[in-house]
Structure 1
Amino acid sequence: MSQKKFVDVHETPSLARLLPLSIQHLFAMFGATVLVPILTGLDPATALFSSGLGTLIFLAITKGKIPNYLGSSFAFIGPIITVSAAYGVGTALLGCFLSGLVYIIVAAIVKKAGVTWLDRVLPPVVIASVIVVIGLSLAGVAVDMATKVTVEGKSEISLASIELSLVTMVVTVLAAVMLRGFFALIPILIGIATGYVYTLLRHPELIDLKKVADAPWIIGLGDMFTQHFKVNEVAAAISSPSAWVAALIIAPVAFVTLAEHLGHLLVTSKVMDRDLMKDPGLHRSLLGDGIATALAGLIGGPPATTYGENIGVLAITRVFSRAVIGLAAVMAILFAFVGKISALLMTIPVPVLGGVSIILFGIIAAQGLRMYVENKVDFSNKRNMIIAAAILVTGIGGYKISFAGVTFWQSFLTNLTIDNIAFSTFLGILLHVVLPGKESAMGEAHKEQKQIA
């Protein structure tokens, strides 16, 4: 691999190549990055801004040696929706900020203790099961978005919604499977655009373009703080002790995205044919991701995560230039200040989003299944079967712990609810730590690697 031609991290392509290469990365991350805030009720412009800023911070902390783009994390969709509904968006964003602190704390521990302990706490059978939970626990949300409409406060099946979501889903699938080259990298964007145009042709009453016409072309920095950023809401949550307790529902999700971060770093290392875990080091990549997530939470953006879509772009183009990633980040920040783009994104019909969400959430679950296969997790082993079963059923089934109505706990926890994803993650870790035979949780692939070594 190292003998093939490539553009290394410290090299800058000519302007004629730099621009399209950066736009390609922008398009690769755009659909998913703006979809998360739309689904969670956050602001797309803020998400674009925090995405670009977080990527620049990540590049700086990793010394420009890891050309990863940071976009919105799907792992936090369920928790953000749940906490926002129960306690307000400020509390949910405080939880996102705390999840960034979890990253920073783990980064400090990794720098001191190395990475071996993470493998012991989060073996493949636990990580893969939790990833499946993240995808399938949102399946009901995606189907409701795709098939229903709210009429006078009641959710009802709508043939128009089904029509729009099916068209969007089919186009997204065909784009992902049939297209090649640049267009194969943006199936989500193609699906949403097609669904939007189809809605304009078949059901134009579902799209209010007046909001786009009324929106300003350029959003000033002052307006960005007052109309798009959620600084005031977060500040109010920070000053409330009960909000801090409720925010702890979201913070543990960071342990799930830690596994995703590790996987992406290993894949990037393989693509670049170098050990990024050592140089610049896992502690630096975790620190960069953590600071990006914490800052996003403070201003109202969703937590950040390294994007597999953009790693795929690296693998295809063999262009690892940090200048390319950096320019894509700058473009994302500039897009955030174009008011009409933000308003246009907010007019996307819910069924269209439901159509792509079915694919996206399913892909997340499929990634967990893929991890089972790649690590050769042995499910004839009772230990692995029990751990996976406990995680899957509690997570997908919506097993939550709520202290609401319990007088003793209410005085301390103010209606605290432990989210199903957080609960299933902790349950999986606890079972792995307590049950004997830990080696089996690592998978047969781990044993084979040890034998070779």
Structure 2
Amino acid sequence: TVAIIGLSLSGNAVGDLMKSSVSGGSSYVALICGLFTLAVTMLCSTYGKKAGKLIPFIIGIFAGYVLASIFALIGKLTGNASLTVINYSALTSLDFTSFSGYISLPKFTFLLGGTEGLKAVTGKYLLTLLTAYVPVAFVVFAEHLADHKNLSAIVGVNLLEKPGLTRTLLGDGVGTMVSTVFGGCPNTTYGESIGCVAITRNASTISIWGCASICIIFSLISPLVALLETIPSCVMGGVCVALYGFIAVSGFKMFQQVDLNKNKNLFVASVIFITGVGGMVVSFGAVEIRTVACALILGILTNIMLSGEKDE
């Protein structure tokens, strides 16, 4: 299922890889910038010295950004608009005469901030939510489990035992509840993050806390936020080719200890891969169960059906 999560995102990565952030920009120029970003990231991670190995994605994004800017400059000098794949409007629209030009304060949407949403809560509405989100929760559990197994192999400690799967899942749940109260998005482990830990070999909790704190501070600085918004889609697409690939590969790694000569394991894997890669989506009225959830549910049912298989 984790492999399917990565594979299902592959279309987004490839689409962004050939996407210009400016109308009329050449998809070929975007592809060059995206592949250049990916190449620099891989080279820094593989052959770089200590600093290069720690921040290969930042270096790759910076290199891709510079190349896109060079193409934009050439396009402006030659009057060839197709060479421009980067949009600087977020930077040029900053108003430095006001407070917002320097500091960007978040806009919270509190759970109890209004009564309109509360009035709409009915039994039917709650049932719809449960039907839509419970399958997704199982997908999150699967990714959480796989990420912690892979992270355990990296740090040499069985995280499923210490601190324990119950505590790490509880951490995800509490974090999501707190986030949604403030109008934020749900939290979960991310295969991309685990992949970054695997590449950099930096699993220090101090580093992770420091990075999180820096991200919060940077998100309040308007010029930095605007600069990040100008990163072209093709550059991020180049990075995402690697990041989404990490998710898929982390799922494949779990097959190293699976006996695919057993019919049960073979059928479970086959059902999940084919329905997942095939893009199976099932709708019940307003409720739509997406591809990964469908693949996981069918995989669970297949596993239950064949759980009585005896070892020969």
Fold shared by both chains (TM-score > 0.5) = yes
In structure 2, what is the equivalent of residue 217 of structure 1?
Answer: 102
Code of the residue aligned with 1:189 in structure 2: it is I
Asked whether 1:178 is paired with 2:178, we answer no
Q: Deviations over 1:40-59 (max 9, x none)?
A: xxxxxxxxxxxxxxxxxxxx
Asked if the contact 2:22–2:87 (Cα under 8 Å) also holds between the matched residues in 1, the reply is no
Asked if the contact 2:31–2:234 (Cα under 8 Å) also holds between the matched residues in 1, the reply is yes
Asked if the contact 2:40–2:59 (Cα under 8 Å) also holds between the matched residues in 1, the reply is yes
* Equivalent in 305, 308, 312 of residue 194 of structure 2: 308
Asked whether 1:379 is paired with 2:263, we answer no
* Equivalent in 285, 295, 300 of residue 424 of structure 1: 295
- Taking structure 1 as the reference length, the TM-score comes to 0.55
- Taking structure 2 as the reference length, the TM-score comes to 0.77
Asked whether 1:350 is paired with 2:233, we answer yes
Instruction: Indicate how the Cα distance of structure 1 residues 397 and 239 shifts in structure 2: closer, same or farther if over 3 A, else same.
Output: farther
* Equivalent in 132, 153, 157 of residue 249 of structure 1: 132
Tell me by how many angstroms 1:296 deviates: 2.9
Tell me by how many angstroms 1:326 deviates: 3.6
Distance 2:26 2:263 in 1: 42
Instruction: Indicate how the Cα distance of structure 1 residues 378 and 277 shifts in structure 2: closer, same or farther if over 3 A, else same.
Output: closer
Tell me by how many angstroms 1:378 deviates: 2.1
In structure 2, what is the equivalent of residue 294 of structure 1?
Answer: 177
Q: Deviations over 1:156-186 (max 9, x none)?
A: 9821222222212222222222224232132
Distance 2:225 2:310 in 1: 49
In structure 1, what is the equivalent of residue 32 of structure 2?
Answer: 163
Matched residues, number: 288
Q: Deviations over 1:14-47 (max 9, x none)?
A: xxxxxxxxxxxxxxxxxxxxxxxxxxxxxxxxxx
Tell me by how many angstroms 1:270 deviates: 6.3
Distance 1:340 1:395 in 2: 41
Asked if the contact 2:3–2:252 (Cα under 8 Å) also holds between the matched residues in 1, the reply is yes
Tell me by how many angstroms 1:273 deviates: 6.3
- Any gaps of 5 or more consecutive residues in structure 2? 74-83, 95-100
Instruction: Indicate how the Cα distance of structure 1 residues 284 and 383 shifts in structure 2: closer, same or farther if over 3 A, else same.
Output: closer
- Any gaps of 5 or more consecutive residues in structure 1? 1-129, 404-409, 441-453
Asked if the contact 2:19–2:233 (Cα under 8 Å) also holds between the matched residues in 1, the reply is no
Distance 2:93 2:172 in 1: 36
Instruction: Indicate how the Cα distance of structure 1 residues 372 and 328 shifts in structure 2: closer, same or farther if over 3 A, else same.
Output: same
Q: Deviations over 1:144-165 (max 9, x none)?
A: 221245998xx99821222222
Distance 1:279 1:262 in 2: 13
Distance 1:288 1:277 in 2: 13
Code of the residue aligned with 1:140 in structure 2: it is G
Asked if the contact 1:237–1:243 (Cα under 8 Å) also holds between the matched residues in 2, the reply is no
Q: Deviations over 1:409-442 (max 9, x none)?
A: x4xxxx21110111111111111112134687xx
What is the Cα-based RMSD across aligned positions, in Å?
3.5
How much identity, in percent, do the aligned residues show?
32
Asked if the contact 2:54–2:200 (Cα under 8 Å) also holds between the matched residues in 1, the reply is no
In structure 1, what is the equivalent of residue 98 of structure 2?
Answer: none
* Equivalent in 194, 198, 206 of residue 85 of structure 2: 206
Instruction: Indicate how the Cα distance of structure 1 residues 323 and 384 shifts in structure 2: closer, same or farther if over 3 A, else same.
Output: closer
Distance 2:10 2:67 in 1: 24
Code of the residue aligned with 1:178 in structure 2: it is Y
* Equivalent in 12, 18, 21 of residue 141 of structure 1: 12
In structure 1, what is the equivalent of residue 78 of structure 2?
Answer: none
Instruction: Indicate how the Cα distance of structure 1 residues 151 and 251 shifts in structure 2: closer, same or farther if over 3 A, else same.
Output: farther
Tell me by how many angstroms 1:136 deviates: 1.0
Distance 2:224 2:161 in 1: 40
Distance 1:134 1:387 in 2: 16
* Equivalent in 281, 285, 292 of residue 400 of structure 1: 281
Instruction: Indicate how the Cα distance of structure 1 residues 202 and 316 shifts in structure 2: closer, same or farther if over 3 A, else same.
Output: same
